[in-house]
Amino acid sequence: MPHPAPLTRRLALPFIGLALCAASLALTVPIQAGAQEAKRAVRVTQGEPYALVRGKEGSFNISGSSDDWPAVKAAQRAIPGEFIWFREAGRDYVIQDAAVMAKVRTAWAPLDRLSARMDVHSKEMDVHSKKMDALGREMDRVAVSKDNLPSERDMREIDGGMQALSQHMERLSSQMETARDQAERERLSREMAATGARMNAAGRQIGQAYDSPQIRKSHASMEAIGRQMEEAGKPMHVLGEQMGMLGKEMERESKVADKTVRALIRDARAKGLARPAPVAG
């Protein structure tokens, strides 16, 4: 009998996987780099990277990659308040103009609201995932011990004997069809009955090997836990679907916000409102 742990993990994975796929569609995926670091949200896009920095001690949302974190953090440490960090032609700049920042906040506001909803769903999913993990551990605990199962060698011997008896029965059946007289048919019939009896005995031996009180108790417990896991998985499935729909909504809003923010950056740059960003030390 295979160990049940992989089964319990497979039961949970479809629900968790669905939620993760939903989150991957979202504009931002919060990443905690450490207890002392601000929360960062990253989105990989085409074009030059930029970041909306929410203050020296706040989070920042970056449209780029984690390779840009040092530059953004250096600017965050040096500049108080909110600002836009961006890269153009290999050089980093920042924008702090109040009017520009107000427009950026307005463009980003729908995504902030959607991100807050996604955070709520993620926390709910985490609660259900922990419950599923606990049930998985319980499933492992009640699983049938190998000590209570027949050895593989014994089962191979029993199975091999059963196959040999089955083949012998087939040969007897063929001989019965071509028996010369009644006496031979009676002899073959008796041999077939004896072979059938040995096959039944081997079958009972196999059944008894997997029908001990310990195994029956283990199977009953595993079935009960399996039903609990099925019930525990239902809200995860619902949450996964909700997160999937929310992720698609965030993806749509992200395209609108990205277009707006990039236009604001270009306009501010043309008006001389951008200045070189502090260099990481």
Are 230 and 129 in contact by the 8 Å Cβ rule? The answer is no
For residues 163 and 18, the model is more confident at 163
When pLDDT is cut at 50, 70 and 90, the band that residue 20 belongs to is very low
Comparing 148-162, 227-241, 248-262, the range with the smallest average pLDDT is 148-162
Span 215-233, average pLDDT: 82
Q: What is the pLDDT of residue 69?
A: 85
- Over range 120-147, report the average pLDDT: 80
Please compute Rg for the chain using Cα positions: 34
pLDDT over 90 (residue 101): yes
The stretch 27-42 carries a mean pLDDT of 39
Average the pLDDT over 41-69 and give the result. Answer: 76
| pTM beyond 0.75, yes or no | no
- C-alpha torsion sign, points 89, 92, 97, 98: positive
Average pLDDT over residues 10-28: 40
Query: Which residue type does 131 have?
Result: K
**Edge to edge, what strands does the sheet with 60-63 contain?**
29-31, 40-43, 60-63, 50-54, 82-88, 91-95, 274-276
pLDDT tens, 168-179? 777 777 776 676
DSSP at 89: T
pLDDT (tens digit, 9 = 90+) per residue, 106-118? Answer: 999 998 899 889 8
Residue 120, SS3 per DSSP: helix
More confident residue, 145 or 85: 85
- pLDDT higher at 257 or 159: 257
